[in-house]
Amino acid sequence: MTSYTAPVAGSHSEEGTFYRNCRAAYVAVFRSSLVNISSKEELCLVLQQAGRNPSRKVLGKYWTPRTTKLNFDDFCEILKKEKPTEESDLIKAFRTIDLNSDGYVTHSELFKVLTSRGEKMSPEEVNRIFSVADTSQNGTGDHSKIGRLVIGQNGILSTPAVSCIIRKIKAIGGIILTASHNPGGPNGDFGIKFNISNGGPAPEAVTDKIFQISKTIEEYAICPDLKVDLTTIGKQQFDLENKFKPFTVEIIDSVESYANMLRNIFDFAALKELLSGQNQLKIRIDAMHGVVGPYVKKILCEELGSPANSAVNCVPLEDFGGHHPDPNLTYAADLVETMKGGEYDFGAAFDGDGDRNMVLGKHGFFVNPSDSVAVIAANIFSIPYFQHTGVRGFARSMPTSGALDNVAKATKITLYETPTGWKFFGNLMDANKLSLCGEESFGTGSDHIREKDGLWAVLAWLSIIAARKQSVEDILKEHWQKYGRNFFTRYDYEEVDSDSASKMMKDLEAMMLDRAFIGQKFSVGDKTYTVERADNFEYSDSVDGSISRNQGLRIIFSDGSRVIFRLSGTGSAGATVRLYIDSYEKDPQKIYQDPQVSLGYNCLESKLIHCL
C-alpha cells in the first residue's frame, strides 16, 4: 500500500511570501541579494529591517569571531530561526516604560530607559527618536492613534466648552454631535462637526482630506458590546483588539473646565455683587432647553448668585421641548414678551449648542448682534482678561454691519473683514492678530477659545454694566452718539427657483461691475446714497495664504453704508437669497429711529433691482 500526503493549503504561497519578505529586507539594506553581509553591525541592521530585534547574544550566535561574511541564503536561514517580536512582547515592553499607565511615554521616561539599559543610546539619538514618536507634538509618545475619549457627563457639552477642553487637555480634536440652532429630535436636524487641535472648526483643507479618505474606506469595525456609563464621572477602561493597552473613556464634569476658564477671564466678585448685591440687577435667561442650561444654573445662579428662577428652560431636551432653539426675536418670543413687562433689567437667550446669544435690555430693548460686538469692543477693558493680554485686533464677517469698524477706526485697532465662518477668525487668533470678533447671525467671541461663545458674550455685557452702572439701553444710546449708528437688517428669501436666483445674481454682478455704476445715486426719503465701490467679495487669508472667492456681492456707498446679496443652497429645495442692508447714520436727531423706518429697505432694494 502506498501512502499519499496531501499538500497543506497555501504552504507554497507562504514559503514564497517568506522569501519575498527576506529579499525585500535584504535589498532595502544592500541594494542586491548578491551582496554579502560583512560585519555584525550590518547583520543587526538587516535583521531589524526584517522585523527582528536581535540582542547582543543573538548576534554573537550567528556572527562569531571566525565569521567574515554571510550571504543571502545564510540570512534567510537565520530569519527562519529568529521569529518576529510578538505584539504581546511589545505591549509588555511599553508598559515597563509607561510608568504611570496613562498610555503615553514622556521624553524623560524614554530618555532614562534608552540611555541606561541594553545598548545605550546617546541623548541626540533619543531626541531624534522622540521627535518621530511625538506625533501629537505635546511631549508624549503615543502607543496607539486614539487611546482615550473624553465625554461630558450625560453626553452634554456646549460647543464653547468643547473648544475649551480640546485646548486644555491638548486633544488632537473633538467631535460634536449637534443640531446647533435648528429644531432637534428624531425628526429634526442633526449634524456632526469636527474641531481640530486648536479647538476651532476644521478648515476646508482638513475636511476635504477627510472626505477624500472616506471614499477609500472599504469596511469599518464597531464594538457593539462596549457600553459606556455616561452618568458617572471617572475613567472607564475597555480591552479592545489590536490595542496596546486598555481603551479609556473618561467622563468629566460638563461645566467645571469651562467655568474655571471664565473665572480667569472675568471679575466674578464684581459680577456677583451685580447679580446678588444690594442694588441687584434683575436678569432673565432663557436656555431654550439647549445644552447651555447646566452652565447657566452653575455659573450665573449658583456661583454668581442670581436667583434660581431668573433662568428658565435650563433642562437640556433632545428635541428642545419641540421649539426652535434660535436666539432671535422670532424664536425667543417668550423671552421678548417677558422682558417687555419691565420686571427684568437684562435678558439673554442661547441656541441649542450654546455658541449663539441674543441680548435684550429692559422693556425688550433689542441689541442687534452687530452692535453687540461693537459695544464690547468699545468697552473691552471692562473685562480683566484684556487688561492683561491687550487687544491685538478686531474682526467681523463680511455681511455683519460696519459698527465694529467705527470703533476700530476710533481706537486705531486693526479691523479684519472675513467670509462667514468662525474658522477664518481662528486663523487670525492663532497668528496672534485677533482678540475680539463677531457675526451678524448672533455669534460673538474672543481668542479665549476658537468658537463663538454665548455665555462669554453675556458675561462681557454684564461686566460692562457693572463697570458703567448704566442700563443696556443707555449704554447703547451713548455708543451711537459717540460712534454713529449702523441701521442693519437682513432678509432671507428662501426656496426660490435656483436658476432664476443664479441668473439674478449674475445680472446683478454684471451691472455692479460696469464702470457706469460707480457714482450712481439712490435716494430714499431725505437720504441719498452714492455708490463708491462694488465687488464680489474675495478674501485672502494672511495666515495660510488661502483665497476664498465669490463670497457675496457688495455695493458700498460713500458714507460706509452697504447693500449685500448672497446666494446659498442651490439644491432640489431651491435656493436662498440673503439681502443685507447696512445704513450708517451720524445725525443725532435720527440715530434713535426704528431700523425699518430708517432703512426704508423696500425702496432701496427696489431701486437697485430696477437698475437691472
What is the extent of the structural domain holding 267?
257-483
Q: Among 281, 454, 283, which Cα is nearest to 372's?
A: 454
Tell me the average pLDDT across 361-385: 98
Q: What is the pLDDT of residue 431?
A: 93
Q: How many CB atoms lie within 10 A of CB 552?
A: 21
Single out the residue in 61, 81, 101 at which a domain terminates. 81
Spatial neighbors of 587 by CB under 8 A, at least 6 apart, are: none
Q: Are residues 261 and 389 in the same domain?
A: yes
Q: What is the pLDDT of residue 11?
A: 41
593 lies in some domain: yes
**Residue 166 reports pLDDT greater than 90:** yes
Q: What is the pLDDT of residue 195?
A: 94
Tell me the average pLDDT across 201-230: 84
Q: What is the pLDDT of residue 604?
A: 56
9 lies in some domain: no
Q: Are residues 171 and 193 in the same domain?
A: yes
**Residue 499 reports pLDDT greater than 50:** yes
Residues in the chain: 612
Q: Is 447 helix (H, G, I), strand (E, B) or coil?
A: coil
Q: Among 603, 611, 606, 610, which Cα is nearest to 524's?
A: 603
Q: Which member of 158, 180, 306, 310 is catalytic? A: 180
pLDDT above 70 coverage of the chain, percent: 83
**Residue 600 reports pLDDT greater than 90:** no
Distance CA 61, CA 64 (A): 6
Distance CA 442, CA 455 (A): 12
Q: Are residues 249 and 265 in the same domain?
A: no
**What letter does residue 300 receive in the DSSP assignment?**
I
pLDDT tier at 87 (50, 70, 90 boundaries)? Answer: low
388 lies in some domain: yes
Give yes or no: 180 in active site.
yes
Distance CA 406, CA 560 (A): 10
Tell me the average pLDDT across 260-273: 98
Q: What is the dihedral of CA 552, 355, 463, 405, to 10 degrees?
A: -10
What is the residue-averaged pLDDT of the chain?
Answer: 86
**Residue 295 reports pLDDT greater than 90:** yes
Q: What is the pLDDT of residue 280?
A: 96
Distance CA 101, CA 308 (A): 43
Residue 358's domain is classified under what CATH number?
3.40.120.10
115 lies in some domain: no
pLDDT in tens, 562-580: 999 999 864 446 789 999 9
Asked whether 449 and 253 are in contact (CB, 8 A), the reply is no
Distance CA 22, CA 18 (A): 6
Distance CA 495, CA 489 (A): 20
Single out the residue in 483, 499, 522 at which a domain terminates. 483
Q: Are residues 460 and 496 in the same domain?
A: no
Q: What is the pLDDT of residue 130?
A: 44
Q: Are residues 472 and 542 in the same domain?
A: no
Q: Is 612 helix (H, G, I), strand (E, B) or coil?
A: coil
Q: Are residues 307 and 166 in the same domain?
A: no
590 lies in some domain: yes
Distance CA 606, CA 610 (A): 6
Q: What is the dihedral of CA 349, 351, 357, 362, to 10 degrees?
A: -10
Q: What is the pLDDT of residue 179?
A: 78
Q: Are residues 348 and 363 in the same domain?
A: yes
5 lies in some domain: no
Question: Regarding predicted confidence, which is higher, 187 or 607?
Answer: 187
**Residue 329 reports pLDDT greater than 70:** yes
Q: Are residues 242 and 377 in the same domain?
A: no
**Residue 267 reports pLDDT greater than 90:** yes
**Residue 142 reports pLDDT greater than 60:** no
Asked whether 91 and 58 are in contact (CB, 8 A), the reply is no
Q: Are residues 334 and 386 in the same domain?
A: yes
Q: What is the pLDDT of residue 104?
A: 60
203 lies in some domain: yes
Tell me the average pLDDT across 400-404: 97
Domain count of the chain? 4
| Dihedral pair phi/psi, residue 141, rounded to 5° | -95, 120
**Residue 141 reports pLDDT greater than 60:** no
**Residue 175 reports pLDDT greater than 70:** yes
Asked whether 394 and 404 are in contact (CB, 8 A), the reply is yes
Report the run of H or E that residue 548 belongs to, with start and end. Answer: strand 547-548
pLDDT above 90 coverage of the chain, percent: 60
Tell me the average pLDDT across 146-159: 90
Grid coordinates representing 230 are 455616561
Question: Can you name the residues that pair with 583 across neighbouring β-strands?
Answer: 487
Identify the residue whose cell numbers are 445725525.
587
Lowest mean pLDDT among 181-195, 286-300, 446-460: 181-195
Tell me the average pLDDT across 33-49: 88
Asked whether 505 and 553 are in contact (CB, 8 A), the reply is yes
Lowest mean pLDDT among 146-150, 299-303, 406-410: 146-150
pLDDT in tens, 49-77: 887 878 888 899 999 999 999 999 899 99
pLDDT in tens, 456-491: 999 999 999 999 999 999 999 999 999 999 999 999
91 lies in some domain: no
Spatial neighbors of 524 by CB under 8 A, at least 6 apart, are: 599, 600, 603, 604, 607
Q: What is the pLDDT of residue 265?
A: 97
Q: Is 589 helix (H, G, I), strand (E, B) or coil?
A: coil
Residue 26's domain is classified under what CATH number?
1.10.238
pLDDT tier at 354 (50, 70, 90 boundaries)? Answer: very high
Report the run of H or E that residue 426 belongs to, with start and end. Answer: helix 422-430
Tell me the average pLDDT across 351-364: 97
Identify the residue whose cell numbers are 541626540.
124
Tell me the average pLDDT across 90-97: 66
Asked whether 158 and 291 are in contact (CB, 8 A), the reply is yes
pLDDT tier at 136 (50, 70, 90 boundaries)? Answer: very low
Q: Rg (Cα) of the chain, in Å, rounded?
A: 32
**Residue 143 reports pLDDT greater than 50:** no
Lowest mean pLDDT among 218-222, 272-276, 286-290: 218-222
Asked whether 543 and 427 are in contact (CB, 8 A), the reply is yes
Distance CA 187, CA 250 (A): 30
- Estimate the crossing angle of helix 107-114 against helix 87-97, to 10 degrees: 110
Q: Are residues 54 and 153 in the same domain?
A: no
Residue 594's domain is classified under what CATH number?
3.30.310.50
Single out the residue in 451, 483, 515 at which a domain terminates. 483
Grid coordinates representing 246 are 486598555
Question: Can you name the residues that pair with 575 across neighbouring β-strands?
Answer: 496
Q: Are residues 475 and 354 in the same domain?
A: yes
Distance CA 464, CA 281 (A): 13
Q: Is 109 helix (H, G, I), strand (E, B) or coil?
A: helix
Distance CA 349, CA 400 (A): 20
pLDDT in tens, 301-318: 999 999 999 999 999 998
pLDDT tier at 536 (50, 70, 90 boundaries)? Answer: very high
Q: Are residues 248 and 282 in the same domain?
A: no
Q: Are strands 365-367 and 357-361 parallel, antiparallel or unpaired?
A: antiparallel
Question: Can you name the residues that pair with 173 across neighbouring β-strands?
Answer: 196
pLDDT in tens, 178-212: 877 777 776 777 788 999 999 999 988 888 888 89
